[in-house]
Structure 1
């Protein structure tokens, strides 16, 4: 399953939880969701611009998105923490990517992602950002 599909399933669950009242979003969660959404906006901007960037920059930005999620995850509990934990797990393949050529036996198990994998991860981050923006105003 690709990253974007995994994030889509996660965000569907979050939307269902809030709609059915299982997740009653607190003001603190709204503030943290807005902070994460803003951080994700800074890391993965306009899709058309991303394609022309060097792979090293795209990878750095995706890793930064994971860092934004992880830092916020450390500051919360409950539904928002579970949601962010799932998002971090969904994006974890990015942590096994590299942008530099290397002997596979000496690259700590990393792989060179395809352009489609970069796009998939970036779209997933945008989808996550949109869901967090919705949570922030719910």
Structure 2
């Protein structure tokens, strides 16, 4: 399953848990979700702005987004932590990507992603950002 599909699944689960009042959001959950949503938006923004960037910058932005998820995860417990943990796990392929040539040396397993993979990862982060924004106002 691709990362966009995994993020979609965890986002739908979060929506369902909130709607069914199984996940009781705390003010701290809302605050962390709002900051994470803002950080993700700053990192990835709109599709047109990302697609016009060089690959090295697109990858940098994806890594910034993953870092924002990890930082948010470090500040919460319970369902929000589980949600963010699942999201971070889904986004881990970004950690194995490289945008620079290998120049005849080892790359620690890093591989160049396709343009489609960049777009998929950016779309996944936008979906995650949307869910976090929704959590912050629920």
Please indicate the TM-score interval, normalised by the length of the shorter structure.
over 0.9
1:81 is aligned to 2:120: no
Q: What CA distance in whole angstroms lies between the structure 2 residues aligned with 1:55 and 1:48?
A: 14
Partner Cα distance (1:89, 1:8) in 2: 13
C-alpha contact 1:98 1:113 (8 A) present in aligned 2 = yes
Q: Does 1:125 align with 2:125?
A: yes
2-structure distance, mates of 1:50, 1:37: 17
Deviation at 1:51, TM superposition (A): 1.1
Q: Tell me if structure 2 keeps the 8 A contact 1:104–1:110.
A: no
- 2:71 corresponds to which residue? 71
| Aligned-CA RMSD value | 1.1
Q: What SS does the corresponding residue of 2:91 show, helix, strand or coil? A: helix
Structure 1 unaligned segments of length 5 or more: list them: none
Out of 47-56 and 112-121, give the one that drifted further. Answer: 47-56
Q: 1:104 to 1:14 in 2, by over 3 A?
A: farther
Report the alpha carbon displacement of residue 98 of structure 1 after superposing the two structures with TM.
Answer: 0.2
Q: Is the 8 A contact 1:44 1:125 kept in 2?
A: yes
1:11: Cα distance to partner?
Answer: 0.3
User: Separation in 1 of the partners of 2:127 and 2:120?
Assistant: 11
Distance 1:90 1:47 in 2: 20
Give the CA deviation at 1:103: 5.9
Runs of 4 or more, structure 1, over 4 Å off, are none
State the shift of 1:130 in Å. 0.3
CA–CA distance in structure 1, aligned partners of residues 59 and 128 of structure 2: 17
Quote the Cα distance in structure 1 between the aligned partners of 2:120 and 2:63.
14
**Count of paired positions:** 138
